Structure formats: C-alpha cells, structure tokens
Structure 1
Amino acid sequence: MNVRLTHLRADHLTAPLALRRTTPRLSWRLEAEGAPASAVAHRVRIHRAIPDGTSEMVHDTGWVDSPDGTSQPDGFTGLPGEEYRWQVTVRTADGGETTAESGFGIGLSEWGAPWAEPVQQPVLEDGPLQLGPEAFGAAASAGPPGDRLHPPRHLRQSFALPARPVRARLRITSQGVHQPSVNGAPVGDGVLAPGYESYQHAISVMTHDVTAQLAPGENVLGVVLGDGWYAGRISILGRSAQYGDLLRASWRLEVDLPDGTRMLITPDDSVTSARGPIDWSDIFIGERHDARSAIPGWDAPGFDDSGWNACALRTVEVPLRPFIGEPITRVAELPVQQILTTPSGDTVLDFGQVLAGRVRMTVRGRRGQVVRLEHAEVVDSTGEFLDNILGVNKDQADEYVLSGAPEGETWEPLFTFHGFRYVKLIGYPGAPRPEDFAAVVIANDLEQTASFRSSDPRLDRLVQNTIWSQRSNFLAVPTDCPQRERAGWTGDLQIFAPTAATLMGVASFLERWLENLRTDQSVRDGVVPIIVPMPPAMDEVDHGEDSVLDIRDAAGWSDAVTIAPWELYRHYGDPRFLSDNLAAMTAWVEHQTKDAAVTLPPRLRDAPLSERQRANHALLWNGRMNFGDWLAPSTLASGEDEFEAMMIAPKLTAELTGPLFQLRSLDLLAAASDELGDDAEATRRRAQAAEVRRAFAEEYLADDGRIIPDMQGIYVLALAFDAVPADRKATVVDRLVELIHTAGDHLDTGFVSVPFLLDVLWENGHAELARTLLHQDSAPSWLYEVDHGATTIWEAWHAVHEDGTVDRVSMNHYAFGCVVDWIMRRQAGIDLVAPGYARWRIAPDLDGRLDHCAAHVDTPSGRLAVEWSRDRDAASLTITVPPGTSGTVVVPDGWRLDGESEHGAGTRTLTIARESTAS
C-alpha cells in the first residue's frame, strides 16, 4: 500500500513566509493508494532554518496518539522574522510510518523602516458625501477622469551587494497599492497588494522570496504606487481619498550573505521617484497608459535617475502586521467567445462569462492612437452594449495610447479591475482578432474545494454561476459586487458563509476579514458595522433617526460577527475561529441586550403598553431600523419608484428581523462557549435566549399561526431560529406553505431569509415543495436566471425580464447563491455533522427530480465524495471517505440500504432498493 502525506499547511496556508501567529496550527492529509489507511499517531519536529541551508531542531512533540491530521505544537513559540522547517511523521494502523516536510516563517513584530513618500499632488477629494440621488447618477457626471486623477508614481532604490545572497526576503507595504520589481523583473505573481483593509487602524505587509532575483554588484528595487482602495474611489459613494490623499511605500529587504552577515535595505535618501507611463489609474474609474512615455530599464541596474525626484522619508505611525491569506493574483484567463457588431455599429468583445478582472490586449497601430475599452456585464434586448452600473466614478473604462511599435504592443492595466463580460472597443486600429485579447480574471488565489454535476444541467450551471460569483467577489475582501460598490457588506458574507466555505478554501481569507471586522467594531463600543472595512465617508452619512439610510448596525448584517466564525469552525474544525472572535461575539450580543432594554419600535413608543408588554420588549432587540428582509420580491413589485420600493421590506419587517437575529447570535454565542469549555456562559446565554423566545412568541405570534406582516421570510426566520413554540409550529408551517402556494409556488423570501427557506420546508414535512422551489423556472427563482443566460448570480431576481429588458443592476452578487449549500447537502447528500467533517452524513435525494448526481467536498482530512444514480426501483451509491473521518449513510423512507450504514475511510459502492421491490 502506497501511503503519503499531502496538503501540509501552517495556519491553513502552504509554506507561508510570514505568519502573524507565533505558534501556528499545523495540518496535513493522509492519502493511500489501494486499501484505506488510518493514522494512529503522529510526531512533529520543528527546525529553525538557518540561511546557509543548515537547521537546528527547536521543538519535538514526541509521538502523539491521535488519528487527527493537526498539531498545535504547545511549547513552541516562533521568533519574529525567523523561518522554520517542520517535519511530520504519521504512524498508521498497520505499523507503517510516512514522513513529509514543509516550512513557515514568522512575521516581524517591529518594523523600524520609514515611509518613502514620492513627490506628488494630493489625490483630489471627489464624489458625494451623502447617500442620495447624486450617488446614483451617471458616471459621466463627475467629469473627465484626466481632469480629476493623478498618475501613479515609480520609486527606485539602487544598492550594491558584495556577493550573491543565500537568502533574501522583501517585506513591503504601502498606503495605496504597489507593484514591486527587482532588477527589472516583477516580484511574485500578486497584484493590487496589499489589498483592502481598515487602513486607519493597521496595514498588512507582504513578504516575498527574492533570493534568485539578486546578484553581486548593483541591484535595483523598483516600486510602482497607485491609489487603490486607500486613496482611490471606493464603495457605494464612489468617493476618493477616504483613508488618505498621499501615497507612500515602506520596505525591508533582508539579504543574508554567504559569510553569515545580513544586509538590511530600507528606504533612505537614495530613493528617487518619477512619473511613469500611466497617466491615471483608479480602482473604479479605470486606467490610462501612454506607451509613448515608457521608461525602459527604470527598475534595472545602470539606469540614470539623476533627473528623478528624491523621496521624503516619513515616520510609520500606523501599525504594520504580516499579511495573512492568499494574495490577489491573475487566477485565470478567458478567450474571446465572439466579436459582436451592435445594431448601432459598435464593436464589442464577448468573453462569454461575467467576471472580475481586466483585459490584456495586443494592438498594432500608429504612434499616439488611443484605444478605449469600456466594460459592462450585459447587452440589452436589442444587442446594444449596456452600461448596467450607475453611480459617480463607476466608469469602468481603460485607455491605451500606442507607442507605434511596428511589431505590435501588448498591454494590461496594472492598478484597476472591472466587473464585465462585454468590452466595447473604441479607436482600435484595423479589424480586431479574438487572439489579440484575453480577459484576465483577478481574485484572491483561493483553492476550489467542491464540485457538483447532475442529470439537470441547469443545476450544474447554477453551481458554476455561484462559483464564478464567489471568485469575482472574494477579491481583497468579500464584496457584494465587483463593479458598483466592491464593499465588504457583512450581510452578504454571513448569508453566503456556509456555501463559501464549501466551495473554496476561505479560512485565511475570512480570518483576515474578521480581523478587520474586530478592528472596526473595537472603536464602536461593540457595534459591528454593516460594511467591513467601513469606509470613513459612509460613517459620516446621516439621514435622521429611523431612516434606512442612517443604519449603523443591522440585524442579519452585524450578526456576521457570530455567524461567520461559527461557520468557519464547523467547516475547518479550527477552534481558533471561535476563540479569536469570542470577545467580539460577546460584545455584539451585549450591545443587542443593552439596546433592547432602552428602545422600543417606533409604532409602540407612544402606545399604552402593559407592564408585561414593556418587560417583553425590553428583552427584544426590535427598536432600531435595519434592512429587514431586504429585497423581498413582492415588496419590490409594489412600489412605483425603485428606491421607495426597496424601502418597503425594511419598514415592514425590521421590527421582527431584529429579535430573530438576536436569537441567532445568542444561540451561536452559547454554542461557541460550549465548544471552548465555558459551560457557565453557555448556560447563561441559553437562558437569555429562552426568555427572548418566550417574549417574541407572546408579542408577535398569533393563535392562528400568523406573524404580522404575514410575509414568507418572517415565517422562515421564526422557524429556522426556533422562535415558534412546539405546540404552534404546525400552524406556522401551514401558513408559510399557504403563502408559497398563493405566490404560485414561488419564493417571496428576502435577503436574510432565503438561505433558510428550503431547509425549513424540508425539515417540516414539505420536501417536495422545497424541490419545486429549487426547480422553479419562472421569476423569482434560481433557474429563471439560468434560463435567461446568467453566468453568475444576479443581484435581483428580475435583472433580465421576460421581454429581454435589462435592469441597471449588478449581474454578479453571490448572496442568492447561498442555495448551493442546500444543493450539496440535500440533493447530492453531503452533510457536515461534526466540525471539520470529522463526522458526516450521506443522504442522497432519491425521491427527488435528479436521476444521477456526483459531488465532492475537500475536507480538512481529504476528499469526501459521492456519486449516485437511480431508476424507478433501485439505486447505486459510491462514497469516498477520507481517513480520520466517519459517518452514516441514510436513505429516504421507502428505500432500503443493503449492508452497513456506518462507514469509515475508503471507497465503496452500496446498493439501494425500494422497499416495495424488496417485498
């Protein structure tokens, strides 16, 4: 039997150079060819890696009797700036042993280098300060980009080395986004570093291995600086300079030489800067590159920078911390599917897929000719290019000025990205050829960890659409959309968290985002903002009490602080997701509790209430305006003005979504306390939740099972969060089913309730109705989007109408793709039972509408896969189970499983028959 160890990770990352923790969590997978193998013990040894290639052992766990593929090496504390090799040996049940090795580094705890600030004009502050009609006007209303934007800066530092280094690490960060190079070659494959975060509180440092790029003699570090999220136009307002208006960079180049000495290169008075060929670049607006102004060799030895400006050196006052997670990279490239000529004569490239990224173009033409690329996600019903995104500074247009090189020239923007499928070409010389263009997909480089295929190609497409929307929006932070806002809305993330952690390896990505969440919460007395990072301009929006536009925290949004850590713990089995966030979870629940005691819903503030009613409402977090069950379809159809229609659901449902999500957070805080061993806190929170449940039922639940405002979403949330007493549950379920039938067997759930709709039906005896909603093909429904050409998940169920009319909304929001979690669990049948899939449940939907299905999830222990097919009387099920896990196979009533239901590691095929056939 061939046994090997794979997927060696330190804090969920492959050989990270600079971890933030000094005691990392180490993990691995055991894989075997042939008969399944199971681990019975492991041993981890950690060596400090000395630059000359030798090492010294600094920690040995000894043999640990455990089947787990993880080790938290108690007693080991890594030193800041040091690197380590670690070796794991696993002993299997047959007495064999296998070993594998990887590495990790510890980031710096102190920085000790200044900012290099190039000569520059401050970024112009523009864009609206308030959420109003001007924030949603046409992009052109802001004026030509060239009148408002400034050029990125090129920084250069030359230094000499006496010998070729044995190890060299570049640690670099910026206020703005940066692209480093050494001796004329790019450093790493990342883009838009260091990403987006709460810059006013802390900024991440990227660490790169540049050993092979350095040489004896003169060497040059080059850095290009752009506005990025720090100074550029961001968020729903599209406002610039929210964190600062001057760009800076800082670095530490640590060079270890063969003689054992170390050289440290940091910004000093030798750093120079100049303007390069990029006239302007903005995250939202786009980029203009004038190839005539190229500076050949500017970041290579031998270049004369005597005409460049000296950089000023500034003290770094904001905390700098090691970047955690996978960097933003070019994760894929897509070719042109067709070149369209619109009815009005425009030339439009169709890449066949809505995505986030930019276009790489090859072009030949005369010097000074300008090619403009405008980006959009749709064409309209007549085939015309349609700019579907409204808002100030949302241009999404790039320009390239040709140098006139006779052999042609190739260009890709550096510091911008767009949400698009279609690109309108303006000024392109000659006839464009498909091979001259590629859509470069930009995202954090997250591993895809799940797949799904079935007998219904529309469901397959729905899952793929969700993957594409996640890829487009897990970019720097988990955003709502990659074109209009690109903001880290907490509600979107909490809705999608179970699906996100199933489809991709999001552990480190969301760990970084949660750290920003905690940082933003820490200055708000427990309040979790609705966007993380919260752009300062959004914090200043004020439209008066009880206005949706003045929401600072919101039910189902701010509760991301309890929901996201819990989902990460469930999927990865890492208790640090709970321990790291427990104080923040507690602070949020305490805020809800205190606010409930002093606020009443607006409708009750002047009402004569009994003492019992006052006592009940003092328990319920229902006195603040929130988004309610946002975007409930029927409410959107009931208003003439689009903005007013969006406000209907909050006005109708906010009073109820508040206490319902209060229950959700209380339950999760109790569960987290349980997992972390605090029984007293768990008991206290459960008792508090019981009182909130009692008060909710008394105040809102009628004897006939109705909950006003009598909308699907409120019933769904009340049932999902166990807010309905057992003796009244049947009447509440009946009313929900009645409402669904009244809607023509369509969902009418809003933003925060739709993730729970199908499970509520399934668990309360209405599995067939859940299937009907999943397979519904008229709007509002998931498959309506698929049937109408969606390649991602739409923001609105009716984004494209039956007559082909296209609404000017985002075509790339992942939130409603939350249904994929249900599809994987209830259709494919892969269900997570214990954290990290230590226990699982396989329960294929043999009574459903699929004839066959195959799916997998890459768990922390390895691949858990199912493949099943069925006919009228029999079914076949193949399962693949990773080592160290076990679970149960469950078949529906009326079916009989031949053989055992309990299974451990290995692959096996099971036969299933209908009970009637067996009899």
Structure 2
Amino acid sequence: MQRILFCLLCCLPGFLYAQVNWSGSWITNTTDTTATKAPFFRKVFHTGKPLQRAVAYVSGVGYHILYVNGKPVTDAVLEQGYTRYDKRLLYNTYDITALLASGDNVVAAELGNGWYNVQSHAVWEFHKAPWRNTPRMLINILLTYKDGSKETIVTDRSWKCTTGPSQYNNLYTGEIYDARAELPGWNKLAYNDASWQPALETNSPGGILVPQEMPSIKIIRRIKPVSVKQVSKDEYLFDMGQNFAGVVTLKVKGAAGTKVTLSYREVLKDGKIDLAHNTEHMRSWPGELPFQTDIYILKGGAGTETFTPQFTYHGFQYVSVKTTADVKLDKTSLEGLFYSTGFEEAGHFTSSDPMINKLYEAARQSYRSNFLSIPTDCPQREKNGWTADAHISAEIGLWNYKSASGYRKWLNDIRDAQAPNGAIPGIVPSNGWGSDSRDYTFGPAWGSALPIITWYLYLYEGDTATMRENYDAIKKYTDLLTSGAENYIFKKGLGDWMSIVETPVPFTSTACYYTDAVLVSKMARILGKNEDAVAYAALAEKISTAFNKEYYDPQTMQYNVTTATALSTTIYHKLVPEPALNKTVAQLAKKISDNHYHADFGVLGTKYVLPSLSDNGHVELAMKMLTDTGYAGWAHWIAHGATTLFEDWPGQYTHNHIFFGDYCAWFYKTLAGIRPDEAAPGFKHFFIQPLFVSQLTFAKADYQCRYGKIVSAWKRVGKQVVLEVEVPANTTATLRLQGKEDQLLQAGKHKLTI
C-alpha cells in the first residue's frame, strides 16, 4: 500500500501540471536592465458564478511574490527556482481557491532581479549573462466553476504596473528599501491604481516551460541573536550565534529619513565585522551597494517599523547595524531567517561522542545553507553551483533530506549547460563563465557530477528514469574525456582543491575518468544497452591499465605518488591491484599516523580517506583523525567555535562551505552501518554493517527510504554490544559483522546481542 501511495503522490503533480495550456503574454514594466526599482503589477477580475477551484500557474523571473486580495499565495521565498532561463523556465502552481471572493478580486505581484538581471559586478560576470533582461512574468489563473465552465485570467497589457519602495535588489550585494515610498494597500482590491501605467507585453526569456517539481525555498528556522553590543555612537554589532544563509528581519523606531545600514559577515576583526572578508571576487563599481549590505530608510511615525529583504540572501553570523540618527536597538531588534530549499527530513544520526554530534550538525547546517534552488559552494561570496562541491556533498543530502527532486532538477541544468562536444562547465547553471572545452579547465573531478549524481539517484532511489534521461549526456562527456586523454591518462582539470600537500592533477583526473567509464558501463547494462556496456567496461580496463603503468610499481607493489589523497584515490576508485591493497592501506594508515592524525588533503581526500581506512580495518584511526582537535582537521574548526564547515583548513576563505563534509554520510554508512545495495537499488535490499568503534558507547541512525524507515542502533552493555535493527516492509537486509557469518534479516524489528 505504501509503495502504491508513493507512486500516486509522484504522479499527482504531473497530472496537475499537464492541465496547463499557456495563453496570454509575458509582461514587464520596462526594457531598461539598469532600472533598479522593483516593479508592482496588479489586475482586478470578476468571478460571477460559484467557484469550484482556482489554480494560478506562475513563472516570474528572477523572483516573484504573488498576492491574491492582499494575501501572499505561499510562504516560500526567492521564487522562482534558478535555471539557465534561455534554456529552461520553471513555473509554480498555487491553489488560490480559498483566497478568492465572489465578485471582484485582485491579483498582484512584485518582481525582483534574482539571477535573471544581476546588476552588480563580480569575476563571474553574471551582469553579462546571455539571458539577462528586465524582470518579467507569465501568469495563467484557471478558474473552474461549479457549473463545469472554465475561465482563464492571463497576463497581458490590461495589467497595470508601477514601482514601489524597493529601490534596488541584487543577490551579491543586497537590497535598498525606502519605506517612505510605500503604497499602502497596493495589493488589495480597494486600492486606487488610476495613476499606474499599463504593463508592457514582452518576450519570453526563451526557455521551455516546465513545472518546478522540487520544493521551494523556505524559512526553515528563525534565529535569535545571542548578543548585541553598541560598538560606537551609530553602530550596533549583533552576533547570531551561528553561521547560516538567509536574511534578518529588522524592527526599528525612528525619524523619517533615518537610514539603517545592515552589513552581514562571517568573521570579526578587532571587535567589528571584517568588511574585507570574502570580497575578493567582487568588482564593485563606484557608487554600487557594497557586498552583503541591506539598507532600510524609515518612514517615521510613532510605531515600530519592520523590514525583511525580499529578493536577496546572505551568508553570515554577524550583523553590523549603522544608523544616521540616534536609534535604540536591542536583542529583539533583529531576528535571523534561515533560508534553504524546503526538503523534508530523511535521516538522523546521533552518538555518544559530543564532537561527532557537533560535526554532524555542522555538516547539516552547511548543507542547508548551500542548497537554495541549486547546490551551491557558499551562500555569500559566490552562490554558484560548482559541480565538484555538488557531487562530493550529494550523499550528505540524500541521507539527511528528501533531496532527490532537487538533484533531478540540477541534472537538467547540467544538460542545459553542456556544450555540443560534451564539455561541462565548472558552475551550473552557467552564463558561459568557466566553459573552456579546449583546455578542459575543470576536468573530470568536477564534470563527473553528471554521472556520479545520476548514479546516486539510482542507488538511493532506484531511479532509472533519470539515468535514461541523462545517459546520452553522460556518454558524450565520457567520450570527450577519451578524446582529450593521452594514452588513457587525463592530465587536465582541477585536482585535490584546498589541499595542504598537493597531489598531481593527472593522478586524480585519470581516476575520475576511470570511474566515469565504469559508471557508463553499469548504466548501459541496466538500460539494456549491452554493446555500450561491453565497450565502456573495456575502456575502463584500458584506463586502469594505463593508470597503473604510469603510477604503480608491480615489483615493490607501491605507487610512486604517496600523498594521502593519492593512496586513498587508488583504494576508493578501486584502481589498486588486489595483491597491493593491504600494503596501500597500510601506507595510508602510516601516513595519517605520522601526520599526528591531522589532515593535509583537500576536497577529494575528504571524500576518499575515511572510507579507505574504515573499510579496510582502520576505523579507529579514521575516528581519531576525524575527532582530533589539532590543526588541520574538521574538529579543529569545531573546537574553535565553528558551527559550519570551512572552505579551507586554515579558515582564510569562506566559513560556510559544504564540500569538506562527506564524513556526515560516512556516519550513516560506517558508524551506523546502513549501506545501499546496487544490485537491489532504492533499499529494496541493503546491508547493515556497523563498526563498533571504541570511542563510542552508542550510535544510532534512521533513514526514511521509499519503503519506510530503516533503523540501525547499537550500544555497549558491559562487554557486549546490543544492536537493534528495523527493516521496512517489502525489503530485506543482510547483517554483516566482522568475524561473523552474514545473516539475512526480514522486514520487522530485530534485536541482537554481540
């Protein structure tokens, strides 16, 4: 029954979206992309008969806020989802039946620039994006009456428009809001819009219209400041106590025209926010609003005024609030709004070790801060969909959240960004920056996001539809790598980014190229493309042979590159010859021990080292490295107050990056021991193989797969370990414990003493 319900719920959105028969025109208020004020739109319409249902289909880019009779139609923020607008446009579906009255009604909207009309300047040059144009929208409101008749309200020149109090909005800088320019009741029926202008009919951004099937961005948490202090006559410093993505709501009372400037940062310098931190990629023009800054201008009066930026978000822990007149602020004056894509929870992990639990929460906080419509690298400096960051952190998302729909959407974005020859840019969506197919600028450690995440969706969700949809693009990308390789060694691209000790790029690039070939072969076999399966398996074998010819000495059974990343690369990618596996693992273990359990690897090593150790008899060493508070390491950040993960070990760059966080998935797979089975994907069958590390007295994980909840929980009782396992209906699990025979577990609850 649960499986049937799952299928029905998956099909229902498609059924609703299939009813759309778009009509009307796209509308805007200007053709000037340098115009800074956010436009208002409204239209009055009449419902003269008893209404059965009313549904609004809306595509508004960059961002839109829709109202019916003065009430917002959703609690989502930063709608519409980000895509390459000239290739693909998302639309949202809102049931507005309850908001309509019999007789006259008004529908109103405000538009923001978002990614569609970036007006600030940075190294990524989104101000030169090929899709750039003025904000615009297309709305169809389908009215279904009880007598069976239908009527559609559409956007066209009959709509009216003007501008309001939002004087400027931009993702990289912020928002300027002049409350003196407010139009009270502008989105309500009684408002007199006689002075407004007719809307301009305009062109579509160009992309195909498809439903936004992933969740919208929501306020997932409200955060109170932990402290506030007045650092000068006109400046207050708020500490939110944690690093997160979003904005703040300001409550303030003062004279009309008083300007309040909110500056958001992650770190302090000499007791004030460090205004230079994370600004190295900005190329601000004279007079441009500074990086991560919102400005509110008071309208004045006796009451308290409230301001929440609507069309931007920031990454921060600290907020400086400067005022041009005497204003009294306290801890109740600011409230943080944590923004993230509204994924439901899928899994949870806890243990007896406080540091492990803090690391777990830091990874989740970083992940939530870095999935706002797309998987991003950081929520302040870049906000870009870097491909390596996305695939390295994807398992964090799939274990902790029901994030598959977000990844399906983003894989569409990759295909939209893919060049005709198969090249994939380093950031997706892409305005063209980072697309250098001649030099393979980012290489397979980055571009492999397409095959790797497609494979994860198969492994975790049993999703063959996405595999089929992406197969040709994955094959084209792998073929491009083959054409660029020299005797099956791929020498270009980015490597172990942010490492302390460098590993040669050809070493890691070739390993990723090998895995791409392996995945194409596996996918081909699953999809019934047997010739491709054989051909790409043969290609993988050639790459493996070339790799070991280049880097491996069969006489000594050792590799000639011996960094922690290199050794773990050979193990993780299954390139090391079987006779040399134990020796290579021992080399890796010794290197970690000799380095006093500190990390010297970069982003690839953070994915490879822990499982290479724990899967081969060194879980105690992996745990010691993970929890050691010395420099460099994950626990070092936490011990020094971090609530999110950093971009680099020293903490010089952003303090809210997710790509060092794969240990969070390792908690589920190794400490709790829940592992998917690629032979029975989607957890139709799975493995329970926890490792009972001495540092823990208990560990527990639960995971909501598509069949139900999986639980693996163990605790020490005297000299024994009690393991409790829950296997969902219509699935089976194999219990694998060191030194024990495998045991098949049927659906139900199991309690074992070991």
| 1:232-277 CA distance string (max 9 Å, x none) | 1487536425221322111111111222221111122211211101
Give 1:651-662 correspondences, 5 Å limit.
653-662=504-513
Unmatched 5+ stretches in structure 2 = 285-289
How far the C-alpha of 1:284 sits from its partner, in A, is 1.3
1:359 maps to 2:203? no
Alignment-mate amino acid for residue 266 of structure 1: V
- Structure 1 CA distance, aligned partners of 2:305 and 2:619? 58
How far the C-alpha of 1:494 sits from its partner, in A, is 1.0
Alignment check: 8 A CA contact 1:364 1:429 kept: no
Further displaced range: 849-858 or 421-430: 421-430
Change (3 A) 1:6 1:574: closer
Alignment check: 8 A CA contact 1:157 1:272 kept: yes
Identity %: 27
1:841 maps to 2:729? no
Change (3 A) 1:348 1:518: same
1:587 maps to 2:454? no
Alignment-mate amino acid for residue 633 of structure 1: I
Give 1:222-237 correspondences, 5 Å limit.
222-232=108-118, 233=120, 237=124
- Structure 1 CA distance, aligned partners of 2:147 and 2:22? 25
Task: Tell me the residue number matched to 1:916.
Answer: none
Task: Tell me the residue number matched to 2:721.
Answer: 875
Alignment-mate amino acid for residue 258 of structure 2: Q
Q: Secondary structure at the match of 2:455?
A: helix
1:272 maps to 2:160? yes
Alignment-mate amino acid for residue 727 of structure 2: V
Task: Tell me the residue number matched to 2:632.
Answer: 780
Task: Tell me the residue number matched to 1:144.
Answer: none
How far the C-alpha of 1:118 sits from its partner, in A, is 0.7
Change (3 A) 1:436 1:12: farther
Task: Tell me the residue number matched to 1:632.
Answer: 499
1:748 maps to 2:600? yes
Task: Tell me the residue number matched to 1:698.
Answer: 549
Task: Tell me the residue number matched to 1:532.
Answer: 428
- Structure 1 CA distance, aligned partners of 2:401 and 2:326? 41
Q: Secondary structure at the match of 1:875?
A: strand
Alignment-mate amino acid for residue 163 of structure 1: K
Change (3 A) 1:241 1:305: farther
Task: Tell me the residue number matched to 2:23.
Answer: 112
Q: 2:540 aligns with which of 682, 686, 689?
A: 689
| 1:708-759 CA distance string (max 9 Å, x none) | 4432212211222122222333443343334333323323222123211111
How far the C-alpha of 1:369 sits from its partner, in A, is 1.3
Q: Secondary structure at the match of 2:604?
A: coil
Alignment-mate amino acid for residue 200 of structure 2: A
Q: Secondary structure at the match of 2:162?
A: strand
| 1:412-460 CA distance string (max 9 Å, x none) | 1110111011111111854323233211111110012111111111110
Change (3 A) 1:536 1:696: closer
- Structure 1 CA distance, aligned partners of 2:520 and 2:121? 33
Change (3 A) 1:705 1:785: farther
Instruction: Please say which structure displays the higher CA radius of gyration.
Output: 1
Change (3 A) 1:204 1:423: same
Q: Secondary structure at the match of 2:696?
A: coil
- Structure 2 CA distance, aligned partners of 1:812 and 1:231? 26
- Structure 2 CA distance, aligned partners of 1:288 and 1:6? 49
Alignment-mate amino acid for residue 124 of structure 2: L
Q: Over aligned residue pairs, what C-alpha RMSD do you find? A: 2.4
1:412 maps to 2:308? yes
1:563 maps to 2:452? yes
Task: Tell me the residue number matched to 2:136.
Answer: 248
Alignment check: 8 A CA contact 2:571 2:581 kept: yes
Change (3 A) 1:407 1:343: closer
- Structure 2 CA distance, aligned partners of 1:236 and 1:446? 31
Alignment check: 8 A CA contact 1:456 1:850 kept: yes
Alignment check: 8 A CA contact 2:55 2:93 kept: yes
Alignment check: 8 A CA contact 1:164 1:214 kept: no
How far the C-alpha of 1:478 sits from its partner, in A, is 0.3
- Structure 2 CA distance, aligned partners of 1:268 and 1:822? 53
Alignment check: 8 A CA contact 2:234 2:326 kept: no
Alignment-mate amino acid for residue 40 of structure 2: H
How far the C-alpha of 1:335 sits from its partner, in A, is 1.4
- Structure 2 CA distance, aligned partners of 1:620 and 1:168? 59
1:214 maps to 2:100? yes
1:335 maps to 2:181? no
Task: Tell me the residue number matched to 2:676.
Answer: 832
How far the C-alpha of 1:795 sits from its partner, in A, is 0.8
Task: Tell me the residue number matched to 2:211.
Answer: 322
How far the C-alpha of 1:688 sits from its partner, in A, is 1.6
1:461 maps to 2:372? no
Alignment check: 8 A CA contact 1:236 1:485 kept: no
Task: Tell me the residue number matched to 2:292.
Answer: 396
How far the C-alpha of 1:872 sits from its partner, in A, is 5.4
Change (3 A) 1:678 1:115: same
TM-score (norm 2): 0.93
Task: Tell me the residue number matched to 1:903.
Answer: 745
Further displaced range: 324-333 or 390-399: 390-399
Give 1:711-726 correspondences, 5 Å limit.
711-726=563-578
TM-score (norm 1): 0.77
How far the C-alpha of 1:294 sits from its partner, in A, is 0.6
Change (3 A) 1:537 1:271: farther
Alignment check: 8 A CA contact 1:272 1:311 kept: yes
Task: Tell me the residue number matched to 2:663.
Answer: 819
Change (3 A) 1:247 1:430: closer
How far the C-alpha of 1:866 sits from its partner, in A, is 2.2
Task: Tell me the residue number matched to 1:498.
Answer: 395
Task: Tell me the residue number matched to 1:198.
Answer: 84
Alignment check: 8 A CA contact 2:64 2:79 kept: yes
Task: Tell me the residue number matched to 1:680.
Answer: 531
| 1:585-605 CA distance string (max 9 Å, x none) | 111111112222xxx4xxxxx
How far the C-alpha of 1:288 sits from its partner, in A, is 1.2
Alignment-mate amino acid for residue 720 of structure 1: Y
- Structure 2 CA distance, aligned partners of 1:289 and 1:395? 16
Alignment check: 8 A CA contact 1:119 1:273 kept: no
Q: 2:342 aligns with which of 445, 458, 473?
A: 445
Alignment check: 8 A CA contact 2:426 2:434 kept: no
Change (3 A) 1:817 1:459: same
Give 1:84-103 correspondences, 5 Å limit.
none
Task: Tell me the residue number matched to 1:101.
Answer: none
1:620 maps to 2:489? yes
Alignment-mate amino acid for residue 277 of structure 1: P
Alignment-mate amino acid for residue 775 of structure 1: T
Alignment-mate amino acid for residue 161 of structure 1: T
Count of residue pairs the alignment pairs up? 739
Alignment-mate amino acid for residue 340 of structure 1: K
Q: Secondary structure at the match of 1:580?
A: helix
- Structure 2 CA distance, aligned partners of 1:436 and 1:429? 15
Task: Tell me the residue number matched to 1:431.
Answer: 328
Alignment-mate amino acid for residue 281 of structure 1: N
Task: Tell me the residue number matched to 2:707.
Answer: 861
Task: Tell me the residue number matched to 2:287.
Answer: none
Alignment check: 8 A CA contact 2:264 2:292 kept: yes
Alignment check: 8 A CA contact 1:359 1:440 kept: yes
Alignment check: 8 A CA contact 1:444 1:474 kept: yes
| 1:840-898 CA distance string (max 9 Å, x none) | 222232243101112211111111112221155111122222211211233334xx79x
Alignment check: 8 A CA contact 2:727 2:749 kept: yes
- Structure 2 CA distance, aligned partners of 1:588 and 1:630? 22
Task: Tell me the residue number matched to 2:32.
Answer: 121
Give 1:477-492 correspondences, 5 Å limit.
477-492=374-389
